[in-house]
Structure 1
Amino acid sequence: MGELCIGTPPQCFNVDFDTGSSDLWVPSMTCNSIGCNNFIHRFDASKSSTYKNPANKTMFEITYGDASSVSGYIGIDTVSINGLAIKNQRFAQITSARVLDIYTAGHADGICGLGFKSISKGHMLPLVFMLWYQDLIDQPIVSFWLDPHPEHKRGGEIMFGGVDPKYFEGDMIFVNVTQQQNLTWQIRLDGIYAGNLNLCEGGCEALIDSGTSYILGSYTGIRRFQELVPDLSVTSPFSTGTVDCSHASSLPNLTFVIGDERLTLISTQYVHSVEDPSNDKIVCFPALHAMDMYAENGNPLWILGDTFMGHYYTSFDLRKRRIGFAKSISISK
């Protein structure tokens, strides 16, 4: 999450930079549904000298994977990010919202989608492309370094226009996206191993999604993981359950196989700890959740969110339609 400003003078918002969607939206002054109460900042078009409406009024609506949704209408204005001013950027002003987790968990005011135009509900040219077309960045690339340690205040860094070598080590590997229509940041995985057990036999697809906190996998794959770890206490069919924190380091490594490359998370990198409000004790849980989804080719679809990206510097290249991965410095430093 980071700051993005709209209008002249700028009105600033905390937004979730989301590679799983392609639309930019913030709440408007007329947002009046119950879900709107979660927003801290709202956009007032009447206070921006550069705001304009499209030639034809265009409504906007989007529903996310957790069934939450927002709706409103499209506007056009200057959008500023880290000193770069994008002219005539389309965005949605939200008038109604059903609560999304990011509002209550991270105090986000909106979402800035970083996906491809083909999945934009508002027919918006992605912000990264707008930066490139207006010669504000050298390449239509956005890269993420996420700090997996919540006790650190910095949180992470998003770079527009390239990669920042100080945040990763070794060579970056590149993987082409698999879809040609309705482009998303989806890649082919040849296997996901928990120790020596393949959680997606026959291969699967994976969305690399900065807007998802954990790793989401098929029920079959998550069930295999549960059977491999007898110490798990399972209370929900959607989660892997909890484990005694003193045993967390004994859980198997997770290895994601992409062609000849293997990207591995050791157990302490995917096991999270939280305080149980019922007894004030610390409990640990693997950040894996079950959600049956399928790619267009019929293969199981996994989502690799921040739990994965926190340990691999990730670069999204919209022009070449590929994703780059490199070992983040947060793994070893």
Structure 2
Amino acid sequence: MLRLLLLLLSTWTGSAMVRVPLRRVPSIRAQLRTQGLLENFLKDHRPDMFNRRYAQCFPPGTPSLRLRRSSEKIYNFMDAQYYGEISVGTPPQNFSVIFDTGSADLWVPSSYCVSQACALHRRFKAFESTTFHHDGRIFGIHYGSGHLMGVMGRDTVQIGEMTILNQEFGESVYEPGSAFVTAKFDGVLGLAYQSLAEIMGNPVFDNMLAQKIVDQPVFSFYLSRRTRTSNPEGELLLGGIDEAMYNRPINWLPVTAKGYWQIKMESVAVQGVSSFCSRGCHAIVDTGTSLIGGPTNEILSLQQLLGATPTNVGEFLIDCARLSSLPQVTFILGGKEYTLTAEHYVRREAYGNKDLCFSGFEAIDIISPEGPLWILGDVFLTEYYSIFDRGLDRIGLAHARHPTE
């Protein structure tokens, strides 16, 4: 028994769990709206506009400029709200990042970045790190607002008290558009499967597993509601599950494709009547998307059922006085019902001296071998504690515990 214990200790050293506090801030979209900049921003940053204007400025063969190729297919940074702190290099240089289960790369701004956005964010100084290794390759990530471009390197990354050695990451040298200027976060840390990575090499959590620095091959998210007393505002637990953050039972769902965290969904019901995905479909559990996304034709029908009115910037308004009369929307996953009321799926934003209410559903068309995909973003994950199990390739969902005001 003693020999077995010593063997286990020698092969899984330094194992631990680490809590990463997450901060919630107004979305970039809300900030642009408050400043009166949203409509002009969206006109200038249509998904195809940037490539038409600037594709020739990038080196030939840049992977994410290829037709129908985008490594960040569903990462919605304009609505991203939750972020936490990491450090890169020796001595450590601190950065705030979105912990994104919808992508697999890590990138932060470079000290050589020429964009206005970088001037307003913390930038990585490779020449100040004694553990930095230059890679030489370039990378590109295509967002709706344009094309982020940079160079690759390897260095020590620290998250809480955990240290990951020789982590591949990107230093952005060009960040497009005013949205990154407004962003409160510096970069992105992807937590999806390695096959989704644009930057070749192991994602951060894969390296944590390979270097045996977590107790379990699991990480979990708690996202708070919009309450003044929410503490924590959100939390990522690497290496385990926090039983204080949810109410049992946990419903476990197998991953159906190892790229995104993709699961099977039986149907989507409105007020108890199966209305969408009636023959079954697939969904992505994604902390990098604030809203709930789905195929355009189904989302437009859903907006009609909610009485939501389209705006000229692609959002859907709901009369705030009608919230109590709106129907429940229920997602059937693994035979269990996950029900959201209007208080859950409507986003209320202050605009001047009044409140605006927006539908928490958006149209996003993602085609996969399994058919059109739905996206369960933060609107859904705020209500359900989410557990991502790489050891057994499954996702656990349980009712989150929220304080009341």
TM exceeds 0.5? yes
User: For 1:246, what is the secondary structure of its paired residue?
Assistant: helix
- CA shift, 1:193, in A, is 1.2
Picking from 311, 326, 334, the partner of 1:235 is 311
Structure 2 residue runs without a partner (length 5+): 1-82
Q: Which runs of 5+ in 1 are unaligned?
A: none
C-alpha distance after superposition, 1:17-62 (max 9, x if no partner)? 000000001011000034434x4100001111111123xx221112
Contact 2:141-2:198 at 8 Å conserved across structures: yes
1:214 match = 291
Q: CA deviation at 1:145?
A: 0.2
Letter of the 1:59 partner, please give it. Answer: I
Alignment of 1:296 with 2:369, yes or no, is yes
Spell out the pairing of 1:268-307 with structure 2 (5 A cutoff): 268-277=343-352, 280-297=353-370, 299-307=371-379
What are the Cα deviations for residues 93-114 of structure 1, in whole angstroms up to 9, with x where unaligned? 1111114856624x11000000
Deviation (angstroms), 1:276: 2.8
The CA deviation string for residues 220-263 of structure 1, in whole angstroms up to 9 with x for no partner, is 22222233234x33325843x22222211221111111131111
Contact 2:317/2:358 (<8 A) preserved: yes
Q: Is the 8 A contact 2:116 2:181 kept in 1?
A: no
Separation in 1 of the partners of 2:211 and 2:384? 30
Match of 2:279 among 202, 207, 218: 202
Letter in 2 for 1:44: K
2:21 is matched with: none
1:256 to 1:185, Cα distance in 2 relative to 1, 3 A: same
Match of 1:30 in 2: 112
Residue pair 2:252, 2:334 contacting (<8 A) in 1 also = no
Pairwise CA RMSD of aligned residues?
Answer: 2.0
SS at match of 1:269: helix
The structure 1 segments of at least 4 consecutive aligned residues displaced by more than 4 Å after TM superposition are 100-103
- Displacement after TM superposition at 1:212 (Å): 0.6
Q: Which has the higher helix share?
A: 2
Counterpart of 1:58 in structure 2 is 137
Q: Of 364, 379, 390, which aligns to 1:318? A: 390
1:174 and 1:236, CA in 2 relative to 1: closer, same or farther beyond 3 A? farther
The yes-or-no answer on 1:156 pairing with 2:234 is: yes
Separation in structure 1 between the aligned mates of residue 146 and residue 267 of structure 2, nearest angstrom: 31
Shift of 1:158: 0.2
Letter aligned with residue 220 of structure 1: N
CA, structure 1 residues 103+250, in 2 after alignment: closer, same or farther (shift >3 Å)?
farther
Is it true that 1:41 corresponds to 2:122 in the alignment? yes
Residues 138-182 of structure 1 show CA distances to partners (whole Å, capped at 9, x for unaligned) of 2222110000215336320000011111000011111111125xx
- Specify whether residues 134 and 229 from structure 1 end up closer, same or farther in structure 2 by C-alpha distance, changes over 3 A only: closer
> 3-state SS of the aligned residue for 1:300?
strand
2:245 aligned with 1:179, yes or no? no
Q: Does 1:192 align with 2:268?
A: yes
Partner secondary structure for residue 134 of structure 2: coil
CA contact (8 A) 1:238 1:291 kept: no
Amino acid at match of 2:97: V
1:115 counterpart residue number: 192
Structure 2 counterpart of 1:88: 166
TM-score, structure 2 length as denominator?
0.75
Identity of aligned residues (%): 36
Please state how far the C-alpha of 1:67 moved relative to its aligned partner.
Answer: 4.7
Change (3 A) 1:133 1:62: same
Q: How many residues align?
A: 321
CA gap of 1:293–1:84, structure 2 versus 1, over 3 A, is: same
Q: Which moves more between the two structures, 323-332 or 89-98?
A: 323-332
TM-score, normalized by length of structure 1? 0.90
**C-alpha displacement at 1:304, in angstroms?**
1.1
Task: Please say if residues 128 and 141 of structure 1, whose CA atoms lie closer than 8 Å, have aligned partners that are also in contact.
Answer: no
Structure 2 distance, partners of 1:145, 1:134, is: 25
CA distance in 1, matches of 2:148, 2:344: 33
State the SS of the aligned residue for 1:63.
strand
Give yes or no for the alignment of 1:129 onto 2:206: yes
